[in-house]
Amino acid sequence: MINKLTDNHSLLVTMEENVLSGGFGEHVSAFVKGESLDIDVMTVGIPDAYVEHGSVSELKKLLGIDADTVANLTHHAFFNLGGHDSGNTADHTLMIAAEYYTPVHCPKSIPTGEYAPVEGTPFDFRTAKKIGLEIDADFEQLTFTGGYDHNFVLRGEGMRDVAVLKSEKTGIVMTTRTTQPGVQVYTGNFLDGTVKGKKGIVYPQRASVCLETQHYPDSPNKKHWPSVVLEPGKTYTSHCIFKFGVIK
């Protein structure tokens, strides 16, 4: 189903009347070698996107346009630092440098436009805690999405550390660095055991975590949020680094 925006442009509708996880095709492969993780990423359709091999994986996306264009690109990798066949990620610890998150008004994950404080809620990851600690709490925002599927308003500006994910099983740590103002945290709530991965392993609910650095979702309809409009003659640049290490 295609949703026409103008006579010349269209977007793929992926969730009823909304565009969710749309974009160009991409292929990701990852290999564990001893205590290091090598990642290869190929993104189709965006020039100059690349990843450096080794313990640091960097994504840079550049886009030149000739008319005002809404541009909010991200990377939707799924991570399970315990191994792809280790079950869910409830025992992973997560730290997010954010005092606020953007609540949603329905299960479709469309933000209300508010900045809600994380303090005193299951969304407080300012100090590292296990993802599974409060994911099933009786809290409306978690009920809407069956777990975490929300944007966090990141502290600071420029390239900086914004999140740290760690597996208690393996000691593997992933530090996320970005230039973006937000990160969408998705805990694989809609995985249902039907998706098969390497060696035929099926992935159960919450078998992985996504840390999608980006501008806030639905920004074009929230005029008080940072703009995602790219003007002609300007270049879109976004950096995200996933840095891996091992703490024993």
| Residue 84 annotated in active site | no
User: Which one of the listed residues 76, 84, 99, 239 is annotated catalytic?
Assistant: 76
pLDDT along the chain (248 residues), means of 10: 42 58 46 43 42 56 74 87 92 98 86 97 98 97 94 97 96 96 95 86 92 95 92 86 90
- pTM score, whole prediction: 0.82
| Residue 105 annotated in active site | no
120, 182, 92, 54 alpha-carbon torsion, rounded to 10°: -160
In angstroms, the CA 3 to CA 18 distance is 9
User: Which one of the listed residues 75, 92, 150, 212 is annotated catalytic?
Assistant: 212
CB < 8 Å & 24+ apart, contacts of 35-41? 35/246, 36/244, 37/172, 37/244, 39/242, 41/75, 41/77
